[in-house]
Every structure is written in C-alpha cells, then in structure tokens.
Structure 1
Amino acid sequence: MADASNTIYVLNGPNLNLLGLREPEIYGSTTLDEIADMLEDRARELGFAIDVRQTNHEGMLVDWLHEAQAEGVRAVLLNAAAYTHTSIALLDAIKAIATPVVEVHLSDPKTREAFRHISYVGMAAAKTVEGHGADSYRIALEAIASGEV
C-alpha cells in the first residue's frame, strides 16, 4: 500500500457476493464487481485509492476493521449487510478504532422488516448512507473526499 492515509477500505459482508442475482427488486442488478469498478474510477478522480473486499464471515470484518486502524487508512466504507442488525462485535470493533467508518446500504433498512430497523453498525459509524442502490457507495466515498467524514 503506497500511501495508506490516501486509501479507503470498502468492506462488504454476507451475501453481497451475490449482488446482481440476489433479490434484484431490493438490491438492484449491479454486481459487486461493477460497484468496485465504479468506485475505483471515482476514487482515482478524487485522489484516493480503494481496497474492496467481501466476506461472509463476521470475524473477518472485525479483523479488517482492526487492520484499517493498524495500516492508517483514511476511512472505511462498511456494508455489513445482515450483520448490521445483529453484530455487537462489529459495533465494538468500530468503537475500538479511530478510523472513521461510513455505514453503507443499498436499500433503506428503515423501510423494510422491523428487525432491520436497528443498526449496531450505525450506533458507532461516523455517517450512514442508505437507500440509493449502488450509488450509496459513491455518495459515501464523496462524503469522505469532501471532508464531511
């Protein structure tokens, strides 16, 4: 990593590897690879590098959040997917690091099932961007670049 302070981690949780196939009426038809390509282009325009990752394992997300702090990255975009609503471990990991975390969601969880209305990630995130489909990631990236986060 050339300049970690200019790098933004984009961390994606469970089932996001199936974007484009899984419930497109909720999550859209854009794949995670397409989102990554769009983000890489936009990040480059804004003078940032990004590191896009996906895992179906909660502990890996925790490890990557710790790594973000250790490496000194600028910020983290985190779409924790279903772990958003269940993971006190992610809440604690975000609270344990100084690296700002922006919570990202393709859909708007507040308009969905009641169990999705609670966000443990959001309790510690610096900002939440939700409900804009794939553009949620771009909006979050631009918030970091503008100094809002």
Structure 2
Amino acid sequence: MSQVTITINGKPETREVEDRTLLVQFIREHVGLTGTHVGCDTTQCGACTVHLDGVAVKSCTVLAVAADGAAVTTIEGLAEGGTLHPVQQAFHEHHGLQCGYCTPGMIMASVDMIRRHDGVLDEATVRHELEGNICRCTGYHNIVKAVLDAAEKHRAAHAAAAE
C-alpha cells in the first residue's frame, strides 16, 4: 500500500491505495468522481481520458502512484462556476453525443487537441486525433462539428484578447 496525493480539479486528494491501483480507479472509487468512465481497460476506447498535468492521458493506463503529486482535471473540473467549458457547450449545441458514455473522454481529448493546435484545426485533423476515442453510437459527424466550432471560438477569443 502507498499513500498518494493527487490534486483533482484543484482539490488535493490523499488516499492509501494498493500499488496496482489505476488512476481511473483512484478517481472513481477513491475520490467518487464518476464522470471519467471505464470502457475497455486496455487503452483502446478513450472513455477514461483525463488531463494529467495539462496533457490528455488515458487514465486506465496510469498507476495512481505514478500520478502522486500531479494535477488531474476530469470532466467535472472543466466547467467554471456553473458555466460549461466551451467544448462542453459545443458538444451540447451540436448534439455531439448519443448515449453519452464516450462523451467525457471525447471532450477531454478535444480540449487538449484544441490547446495543442491553438484552435487551428480542420476536419481531417480532428478525425485523426480522435482515433483513440471510440464512439459506438455515432458516425462522429456531430462530434467533429462540435470540436471545429469550439476551436473556431477558441481562435476568435484569443485573437480578440491579443488586440
């Protein structure tokens, strides 16, 4: 057993865990945040995507002890003061979901993608970058529309701030 402290959505969380505990298990079972989903346990589906020190990772492949001292953002940590994050809002506006199981991972991967590309994205790039996130319900069309819309709004907001 090891004691780990991981800052999740801005709040330090210290727990005693088995050394084999996955980050996704720490988030869901030890902290009680269930927005991060467990899909495949083999890094294939992306439903468990979170941000670890600002970078999107599949939390089913990271041990909690490896994340000791790190900062993790989950889907629950994106909204600020009751206002949806722009990517969450875009998924809502473009109906980028059906059953919703993959949605948290898709959103977390999309936020990271928009950040890394500074909002400069095209459909081919979005589709390529989301290959590690599987949706079994949709044809990805509305997901891609949502990401492109959020990326455009990101670019516009940064351009306005630079003026």
- The TM-score bracket by the shorter chain reads under 0.3
Task: Report 1 or 2 for greater relative contact order, CA contacts < 8 Å, sequence distance ≥ 6.
Answer: 1
Larger Rg: 2
